[in-house]
Amino acid sequence: MSRARFAAPLAAVILLAFLGAESARFSLWTTLDEPAHLATAREWRYGPGMVSNFEHPVLMKVLGGAFLPRETPPMEIDETRAGRAPMPFVFAGLVLVTGLLARALAGDAAGLAAAALVAVEPTLRGHGSLVQSDVLVTFFLVAAALALELAARGTGEKTPDLRWLVASGALYGFAMSAKYSAFPFLVVFAAIAALRLASGCFSSKVNERGARRSKRADNSTRTGGRRYPLHFLRNSLRTFPFVLAFLVGPALVTLFLIQFLAFAGTSDAAFRAGIAHEFAGLPQERAAVALARTFPRPIAAYGAGLLFVQGVAGPGERFNYFFGEISGTGHRLYFPVALGIKLTTATVLLILAALAVAGVLLARGARRRRLLAARAFWPAALGGAYLLAACASNLNIGVRHALPVVPFAIAAAAGVMRTLIRRRRSFAIALAVVVLAAGAESVARMGHEISFGNLLCGGPAGVPPILSDSNVDWGQEQGKLFERVRRGDLGRVGLAALLVDESGARAVGILGQVVDPDAPVDTVFFSRFLWDVAAAAEKNTENYPKFIWIRSWLPSLRRGLEARAVSIEPFGDTQLLMRLRPAMPSTASPSSPPAPTP
């Protein structure tokens, strides 16, 4: 297929992705991380600079801040939608680079199919509209991988193309400025890059001409093939200094330049005051303050951010909910399960089928193994390493933390299936069936961008009992909730939720958060996430301060409201609507939850 014939359908897919994310930008309500991102974005744009929210790097704040009006809108959702303006473009960019990476590895049909699968995935599309770093870092990681693939193909002289290699490093620098998880992953990326460059011309020529190799040529390499792994490893070690100089070096320089520009408008005094305020009472306080006094702002800020993430992601710092239990440490199977039920059924089955096929192909001879390595190893290694890193973490609060796995897994699956199916037309038809099935399921679940649950778990209604996901619960359906309250017949309304858009709640007359079962309200919208956590907290015996705090009030709130309830019915994917009997005379009133023990 010519470039023009490939570009036309790819452009259509990219436009579809952009329009889907643009629609979600307005339909989804404010989610948990967005207010913190936007508050810092406003500080950066209009003063006093980058002085808060060190938990997240600067790039998302700079992008969001560029679109914020000078005057803060009276409604929080308007501020959120303004800050989201660049994100549909980022999501469209992710579709583009995924398609180009898959095309480079496995041909035109693979590129179009991979781009289309990313575009129609409801979970990716929903997160692609939010002021969050997950799709942003995914875009830059895939773009860096694409640039590295082009660098490995060389200049036609069996040497890497330095222009693309430096570009890969620069793109990875942007990834590190988008999300802290990309910083330690640079070691993995560099190691796999050395392997890819070592295979270099060999891999690209196998990919282009391997299918036409004769059996005689295959037999002639069989004896030497026994020594090939050792030779390949030796070449990889020789390549590693090259990777350090032309990939890791540019990545770190790019990160520093972005940090330098982001903190250019922040004074030393304001920066140090912000560090002191953000880290007050945390175990990392002394180290963060020392960084602020010792190093320039760009370096100190990034180091402080890494310290902050280390602190808030430690054991017992978050409620990790999985299959009816909460834990202070991460569940190792959380992210595989989350991806398995948050992607469309067709995409999940494609990836699983590719894993099975890869196992068969590895046992089918040297030529098939070479083709498989050329077409699938590179994205499979990156996606698999990122998934393993996510599984090793103590943070299970949303599938979004594993989103970089998805485009790499799709590209690798396309490469595996191309190795299995030799006829191009048959290959294209097989991928078209997968894309159509994924698209049909996505259309059928329209409106469930983030809280999507595929057919394997019974759809959105089946998600909460399996996997309470922060992104299912923390705000994106508040618009529907406010509209229901505005219609009336609910009496005095309170909320039991982790996040409330206070301006939106006030506008429809919601009294506030309910933390006492005798609160003088007639109706309560109870968060499904808190409902699940309340039941799990009663079974939990861990003595982390936050777990002791949650057990001190949430289970009794659930039991008390359940006893008062006349009816309990689901409201969307994220809430339970509880109609209550009148409370006994009490001085209790809707209020904020008690503060957790430090």
Pair (71, 175) in one structural domain: yes
Predicted pLDDT of residue 364: 81
Asked if residue 381 and residue 500 are part of one domain, the reply reads: no
Q: What is the pLDDT of residue 205?
A: 44
The answer to whether position 41 is within a domain reads yes
Domain membership flag for residue 245:
no
204 or 336, higher pLDDT: 336
Residues 426, 483, single domain; the answer is no
pLDDT recorded at residue 207: 45
What stretch of H or E contains 495? Answer: strand 493-496
Span 520-545, average pLDDT: 93
User: What are the residues facing 250 on neighbouring strands?
Assistant: none
- Cβ atoms of residues 347 and 327 within 8 Å: no
Same domain, 258 and 385: yes
Write the CA distances from 471 to 139, 245, 417, 546, integer angstroms.
20, 39, 32, 21
Q: What is the pLDDT of residues 229-256, one digit of tens each?
A: 656 566 667 788 889 999 999 999 999 9
**Structural domain contains residue 596:** no
Do 424 and 482 sit in the same domain of this protein?
Answer: no
**Predicted model pTM:** 0.91
Together in a domain, 278 and 375: yes
In this structure, which amino acid lies at residue 595? A
Domain shared by 496 and 546, yes or no: yes
Determine the structural domain holding residue 543 and report its residue range.
477-580
Q: What is the sign of the dihedral through the CA atoms of 590, 596, 597 and 598? A: negative
Domains: count for the chain: 2
Model confidence pLDDT, tens digit, residues 560-593: 999 999 999 999 888 899 999 997 765 445 666 6
CB 324 within 8 A of CB 465: yes
Q: Are residues 390 and 297 in the same domain?
A: yes
Boundary residue ending a domain (444, 468, 493): 444
pLDDT value for 595: 55
- Residue 591 covered by a domain: no
Q: Are residues 101 and 60 in the same domain?
A: yes
Does 343 reside within a domain?
Answer: yes
176, 61: one domain:
yes
Q: Is 397 domain-assigned? A: yes
Nearest residue to 527 (alpha-carbon basis) of 551, 563, 560, 496: 496
**C-alpha torsion angle, residues 333, 451, 125, 412 (rounded to 10):** 20
The answer to whether residues 53 and 145 belong to one domain is yes
Among left, alpha and beta (phi > 0; psi -120 to 50; other), residue 281 is left
Q: Is the pLDDT of residue 267 over 80?
A: yes
Rounded Cα distance, 121 and 118, in Å: 5
DSSP 8-state class, residue 225: G
Q: Are residues 411 and 492 in the same domain?
A: no
